[in-house]
């Protein structure tokens, strides 16, 4: 059996930074295209300690260091800034994300797309919502790489171009370890970590086998889903997270995901090696 710990969205730190901090003009909530979900240019939910949210009891989950659930208003974004020694994985939920970096990369990615940056020895980039009519939502996660000083790298996957955008009710394995030759995924990073995504219709179920000495972090992107392992069950709603750890590292166990008869779900899950000593979050 696996240990399941519910991380409710109501307990997440919500950041709404000053527009000028990232080179944005003042907020214009009176604009006809300003999305009512936020009165600020950015609304970000932090699953782990980040930026102005400093919490030593919630600094990471294994090699998963950051998971930010970001909503960006039209014609707003993050001006050019730098990163180093981190694997950065971004999953686009809605809208279009325009990326530019110091390696000369420039592209826009739509819903279901995933991009990564090996920041390594240093990289600068910007992220922007170029649309003047529609908001942008994306999940950005940082993963600690296996070593420092790696050569910077960038890659992405667009499901529309691949013809896989209509896949539903099954796991899409989007990210894996570049050193794992047993699997082939659209994106490969410098760490033993995997990203899976599933869009489930109402009244559906999916299973996932967590191998021995492995753990996972689940995000309910949209909708609602029940997650079960043995006699343990948690119900997740939009923005909720769930920590999955083994009660016995020598055994694997199955996770079962079930949607209700009237509600679909969009689920994202990082799976990785169990690092042990996960103390849990005492403020959740």
Q: Taking a C-beta distance cutoff of 8 angstroms, is the pair 100, 126 a contact?
A: yes
47 assigned to a ligand binding site: no
Beta bridge mates, 91: 114, 139
Is residue 196 left, alpha or beta, with left meaning phi > 0 and alpha meaning psi from -120 to 50?
beta
Q: What is the rounded distance in angstroms from the CA atom of residue 58 to the CA atom of residue 284?
A: 10
239 assigned to a ligand binding site: no
Q: What is the rounded distance in angstroms from the CA atom of residue 269 to the CA atom of residue 208?
A: 10
Q: Taking a C-beta distance cutoff of 8 angstroms, is the pair 41, 70 a contact?
A: no
Residues 6 or more apart in contact with residue 32 via CB below 8 angstroms: none
The one-character DSSP state at 161 is H
Q: Taking a C-beta distance cutoff of 8 angstroms, is the pair 117, 124 a contact?
A: no
The one-character DSSP state at 11 is G
R_g of the chain computed on alpha carbons: 18
Q: What is the rounded distance in angstroms from the CA atom of residue 122 to the CA atom of residue 209?
A: 36
127 assigned to a ligand binding site: yes
Neighbours of 151 (CB within 10 A): 8
Q: What is the rounded distance in angstroms from the CA atom of residue 217 to the CA atom of residue 272?
A: 9
C-alpha 16, offset from chain centre: 19
83 assigned to a ligand binding site: yes
Pairing between strand 214-229 and 253-258? antiparallel
Pairing between strand 265-273 and 241-246? unpaired
Which positions make up the binding site?
81, 83, 125, 127
Please report, in range form, the residues annotated as the binding site for Fe cation. Answer: 81, 83, 125, 127
């Amino acid at each position: 059996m696996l240990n399941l710990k519910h991380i409710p969205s109501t307990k997440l730190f919500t950041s709404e930074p000053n527009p000028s901090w990232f080179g944005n003009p003042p907020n214009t909530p009176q604009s006809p295209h300003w999305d009512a979900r936020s009165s600020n240019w950015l609304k970000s939910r932090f699953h782990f300690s980040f930026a102005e949210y400093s919490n030593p009891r919630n600094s990471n989950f294994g090699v998963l260091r950051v998971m930010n659930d970001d909503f960006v208003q039209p014609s707003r974004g993050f001006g050019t800034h730098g990163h180093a020694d981190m694997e950065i994985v971004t999953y686009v939920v809605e809208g279009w994300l325009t990326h530019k970096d110091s390696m000369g990369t420039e592209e826009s990615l739509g819903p279901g797309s995933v991009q990564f940056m090996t920041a390594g020895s240093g990289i600068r980039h910007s992220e922007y919502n170029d649309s003047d009519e529609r908001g942008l939502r994306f999940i950005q996660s940082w993963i600690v790489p296996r070593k420092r000083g790696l050569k910077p790298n960038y890659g992405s996957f667009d499901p529309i171009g691949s013809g896989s955008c209509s896949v539903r009710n099954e796991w899409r394995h989007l990210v894996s370890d570049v050193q794992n030759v047993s699997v082939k995924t659209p994106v490969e990073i410098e760490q033993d970590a995997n990203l899976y995504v599933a869009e489930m219709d109402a009244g559906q179920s999916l299973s996932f086998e967590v191998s021995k000495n492995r753990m996972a972090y689940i995000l309910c992107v949209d909708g609602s889903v029940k997650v079960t392992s043995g006699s343990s069950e948690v119900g997740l709603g939009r923005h909720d997270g769930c920590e999955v750890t083994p009660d016995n590292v020598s055994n694997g166990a199955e996770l079962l995901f079930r949607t209700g008869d009237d509600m679909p779900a969009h689920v994202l899950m990082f799976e990785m090696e169990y690092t042990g000593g996960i103390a849990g979050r005492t403020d959740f």
